[in-house]
Amino acid sequence: MSTDAVVTTLSTEDRPVRKAPRRPKPAPGTKRLSPLRVIGTVIVWLFTAFNIMVLYWLLGAAFKTPLEIFRDPLALPSQLFKSGRPFRNFIYAWDTADFGTAFLNTVLLVAVCSVVIVLISAPAAYALSRLGVRGSGPLTGFIAIGMGIPFQTVVIPLFIVLAKVNLTNNLFGLGLMYVALSLPFTVFLLTGFFRSLPDELEEASAIDGASPTRTFWSIMLPLARGGLITALILNAIGLWNETLLAIVFLQENANFTLSRALFTFYNAASYQSEYGGLLAGVAIIVLPMLVLYILLARRIITGLTLGAGK
């Protein structure tokens, strides 16, 4: 179609690419190794090593007996492997806390909510950043204020109202809240992405006769794909880890999300001194995030810190 042609012609067009200034090599003799710098470097490396050790300790402890966790915290796990049941802690946590149901609930809730959040936020962000309607600026600011409202301030009225319409202890009700409360951040994030897109493409598609809605769907959305995916991932991470609302709004085991189930499991497991099982539970909620992070670290880091820079 004509619109596709527009995209290809314009994106292959040569633009002067500005390179970031490369840091020149210091002249010989100017680079001194100050003691301060050496100490700083050592501290940074120690701090980093400590982070890695902590992660190793967590993953190792999930395969250990309580005695091993406390006696030889830094040794590799051995007892459970010797007895032929290396995943004993995971099985214990999975069964006792009903993590199976919780896992399914969480994956479903997080997937649906993240998609819905982006579907609602993208048009709003587009409207606020590109349509040039008067008042867009203040309106964007008004929505951004929502990022500063702590959940604790809205939780009581929401609980009362949702209890009236039977949406407490209900994953749909929780999902509704997740969507609504994630909008300010997502809209704010996406306005940044839409604002950075070039004007020429919109203009060209208008000249080619595309309707404004079509311009949005087939030109602007695909162009902002990077931003949309970032928004999707960041929301998924945030909701995966969300605990406060889940604690307040879910009471029945069958509806629990992972963080909610872990919260309940904590009391039971520490009462029974099941520290291995407890850390296996922690690992179950952390591992999917770790995998996601290893795959997408750059995108996650830039996305989360985007709003703060320029």
Partner 1 sequence: MTAQLSSPPALGSTPRAGGGTPAAHVARRKRLFWPFLIPTLVLYGLFLIVPTIATVVLSFSDWKGAGDTPKFNGITQYTRIFADDAFQSAFVNSLIYIAVGGIGTFILAFLFTMVLRDMRGNKIIRAILFFPNIVAPVALGMFFGIVYRYQPGRQGLANFLLESVGLKAAKFLEADVVTWVVLGSIVWASSGFYITILMAAVDRIPPYLYEDASIAGASPWQKFRNITLPLTWDVVGIAGVLWTINAVKIFELVFVMAGSGTYAPPIHSWTLGIFVFDRSFGDTPAYGTACACAVVMILLVSVFVVALRRLLRREAIQF
Minimum distance from residue 200 beta carbon to partner 1 (Å): 7
Minimum distance from residue 286 beta carbon to partner 1 (Å): 6
Query: Closer CB to partner 1, residue 84 or residue 209?
Result: 209
Minimum distance from residue 262 beta carbon to partner 1 (Å): 6
Minimum distance from residue 206 beta carbon to partner 1 (Å): 5
Q: What Rg do the C-alpha atoms of the chain give, in angstroms? A: 25
Minimum distance from residue 264 beta carbon to partner 1 (Å): 11
Query: Closer CB to partner 1, residue 86 or residue 263?
Result: 263
Query: Which tokens in the block code for residue 281?
Result: 């539970």
End-to-end CA distance of the chain: 36
Minimum distance from residue 178 beta carbon to partner 1 (Å): 10
Query: Closer CB to partner 1, residue 35 or residue 84?
Result: 35
Query: Closer CB to partner 1, residue 98 or residue 208?
Result: 208
Q: What distance in Å separates the CA atoms of residue 272 and residue 220, rounded to the nearest whole number? A: 56
Query: Closer CB to partner 1, residue 20 or residue 84?
Result: 20
Q: Could you tell me which residues come within 8 angstroms of residue 96 by beta carbon, excluding any fewer than 6 positions away?
A: 265, 268, 269, 274, 277
Q: What distance in Å separates the CA atoms of residue 157 and residue 137, rounded to the nearest whole number? A: 29
Side-chain half-sphere CA neighbours of 39 within 13 A: 3
Query: Closer CB to partner 1, residue 26 or residue 84?
Result: 26
Q: Give the ranges where the chain is alpha helix by DSSP (H).
A: 2-12, 35-61, 66-71, 79-82, 88-96, 99-130, 136-145, 151-164, 171-195, 199-207, 212-214, 221-223, 225-241, 244-249, 258-271, 275-305
Query: Closer CB to partner 1, residue 24 or residue 28?
Result: 24
Angle at 25 between CA 24 and CA 30, to 5 degrees: 120
> Which residue reads 């969480």 in tokens?
106
Minimum distance from residue 14 beta carbon to partner 1 (Å): 18
